[in-house]
Structures are given as C-alpha cells and as structure tokens.
Structure 1
Amino acid sequence: MSKHKDQEENELIEENNNQENSVKESESTENMSDNKQELTPEEKLAQEKDKFIRLFAEFDNYKKRTTKERLDQIKYSNKDMVEALLPVLDDFDRAIKELEKDDKSADALEGIKLIYNKLFNTLKEKGVSIIEVNPGDDFNIDLHEAITQIPAPDQNLKDKIVDVVQQGYLLHDKVIRYAKVVVGK
C-alpha cells in the first residue's frame, strides 16, 4: 500500500510541476507577443531591411576577399620554382666575378653573362626583381637580414650597410629572399 501511496504523491507532484511550467510558458508567450505587438509594421520592415543590407554587405565583402585571395594565389604560384632558381643566379654571379679577374677568359665571361642575362630576364618577366643594396644604405628590416655587425670603418657607416653578402630578391611586391648584409656598429 505504501508503494501505491508514494506513486500517487509522485504523480501529484509531477502534475503540479507541469501546471507551473505551462503557466510560465503562457506568461512568456504573452510577454513575447507583447514585445512583438510593440513593433509597428514599419519598424519590422526597417529591421528586416537592415538585416538584408548587412547580409548583402557581408556577402559582398566575402566575394571581394575570396577574389583577392585567388588572384594572390595565382600571382605567387611560381614562388617555389623561383626560390629554387635563386642559388643558380648566385652561382652565375660568383662565376662572373671570378672570370672578370682573369683577362684570358673574356670569351667564357661573355658566354656566362649571356646565359645569366637570359635566365634573369626570364625571371624578370615572371615578376622577379633584385633588392638594390649598396654599402652606405640605411638598414631596412623589411628588406635586409643582418648576418653580423662589425665596427664601422667610418663614422658615416654607423648603423648602415657596410657590405652585401648575398643579393635579395622580390617576387612582385613580396620579399622571397632577404638581402644578407653586414651592418656597422
């Protein structure tokens, strides 16, 4: 019998809870409908129009961003190939400097220069350019990489480039290899 009584009490408690919940739901529905009734049709229209304009602007920005990303991806798609060819250009530069020291190798020097110019002009057509660096230029962290600092031989070269160790290159407007320089301190 006690089990039956407990079960009845539990059912009564559940019924009471259900009634309270339904009363709360009806009150919240009335509050919502009161809030909705407060808005005039013009205000609703203005809200919906504002939502539409914001959504349209967000979509337009998305289209512009993806288009720019796609163009950048195409523009810099050959970056890896160009980076792989930069050591070849360095080797050509070293070979030209060595051949210029020897008067007997004028023909070889001319041939090497022709091949170097052909390779460099091909890369130039693809958007590669040299970062121009000369001793005495200001050190620019966006274009140069300081590999060491030495005492400046002249007071004018303090915090300026003293020597260029390795040429730097740009692909369109992005640095693909920083110019390695020695800076005076």
Structure 2
Amino acid sequence: MRIGKLFDSIRNKTTKNMSEQNINEELENENLQDNVQDTENNSDQKENETVGKSELEIVKEQLAKEKDQYLRLFAEFDNFKKRTSRERIDTFKTANKEVITSLLPVLDDFGRALNQIQKSEDDTLYQGVELISNKLTETLRAKGLKEMEVKAGDDFNTDFHEAITQIPAPTEDLKGKIVDVVETGYLLNDVVVRYAKVVVGL
C-alpha cells in the first residue's frame, strides 16, 4: 500500500516536472519566434529606408545634371546673342563701305583739282570747287569716314601704311620712317578702308 502511494507520488512529480518543462520550452519557442519576427521586420524597414534613400539620391543627381545642362545652354545662348549683336553693329558701321570706298578717288581728284586751280590764281573758281569738295568731305565724314593723319617723319606702321617704294633717306633720322605720302589713307568707323601709300627711307 505504501509502495503504491510512493509510485503515485513519484509519477505525479515527474508529470508535473515534465509539464513545467514543456511549458518552458513552449515559452522559449514563442520568444524565439517573436525575436525572429522582430528581426525580419527591422530588416524590411531598413531595406525600405535604403531603397528610399537611393531613389532620393538618384533624383538629386538627375536634378543637378539637368541644372548643369540648363546653365550651359543659357551661357551658350547668351554668348550667341552677344556675338550676333557685335556682328550686327559691325555690319551697320561698314554698311556703306563699298559706296564710300568708291568715292575716295573722287576726293583725291578734288584735292588735285584744287592744287591746280590755286596755281591759276582764279579765286572764284577755287572757292567754288573748294565748296563742293568740302561738302562731299563733310557728308562722308558724317557717315564715319576719317582721314588718316600721316606726315613725313612718322614711324612706318603696317597696320595703317602701305610702302609703295623705298628710297635712300635724306637724313639719318628718316631711316625706316615715312619720307613722303603719295596717297591719303582713310578709316571708316575706325576700320581701315584704304591704307596710306607712303615712301619709306632706307
């Protein structure tokens, strides 16, 4: 009788211990599953944040690229406008170049005519021709024509002068310099339309 009770007691304790052990195992399993779920959720959240961040960076890079292209295009267009404006101004300045250049020999002829008339001592004729010459000169000057101021003794400058011949210099100080002016040079709005033809001393 006592032995049976003893067995029952041992069995009850064993069953109770096993039940507690099972319960503990189940609790541990649940905690483990919860930890795994939390880890997966955190991983998904981080991945979403990474994807979102990379998309934002891509958009920023595209925006920066588009802005750079816009600025380059704007600068090119601005340069084009300035260049076109300068070319238009230059065209306006020299629009009458051909007509004015064709009238330069007429000015030369007036100069030679006045020199010859002055020798005849006919003051009335001289004044009449001089009046016409001055009127033509003033008209062309209003269009931008300017006579070059060149005289003997000036330095020879290939930007404005054309040497038609060289002669031995009459004096030492005229070597390499202008000895005589054969034909007057002209500028049209500061652009050379005819070089001054000169004689240079050796």
TM-score, reference length from structure 2: 0.70
Q: Distance in 2 between matches of 1:142 and 1:108?
A: 38
Tell me the number of residue pairs that the alignment of Structure 1 and Structure 2 aligns. Answer: 148
Aligned residue among 138, 160, 166 for 1:149: 166
Aligned residue among 125, 128, 132 for 2:149: 132
Q: Distance in 2 between matches of 1:177 and 1:126?
A: 16
State the 1:70 CA deviation: 1.5
Partner in structure 1 of residue 127 of structure 2: 110
Range that drifts further, 62-71 or 167-176: 62-71
State the 1:47 CA deviation: 1.5
Aligned residue among 85, 93, 99 for 1:81: 99
State the 1:141 CA deviation: 0.6
What are the within-5 Å matches in structure 2 for residues 4-153 of structure 1? 40-103=58-121, 105-153=122-170
Cα shift readout 1:113-153 (whole Å, capped 9, x = no counterpart): 11100000000000001011000011111111000000000
Q: Distance in 1 between matches of 2:179 and 2:89?
A: 38
Letter in 2 for 1:41: V
Secondary structure of the 1:40 match is helix
Aligned residue among 163, 170, 180 for 2:187: 170
Letter in 2 for 1:152: A
Q: Distance in 2 between matches of 1:176 and 1:61?
A: 29
TM-score, reference length from structure 1: 0.76
Secondary structure of the 2:152 match is coil
Structure 1: gaps (5+ residues): 1-35
Q: Distance in 2 between matches of 1:108 and 1:50?
A: 73
Q: Distance in 2 between matches of 1:107 and 1:164?
A: 29
State the 1:46 CA deviation: 1.3
Structure 2: gaps (5+ residues): 1-53
State the 1:40 CA deviation: 3.1
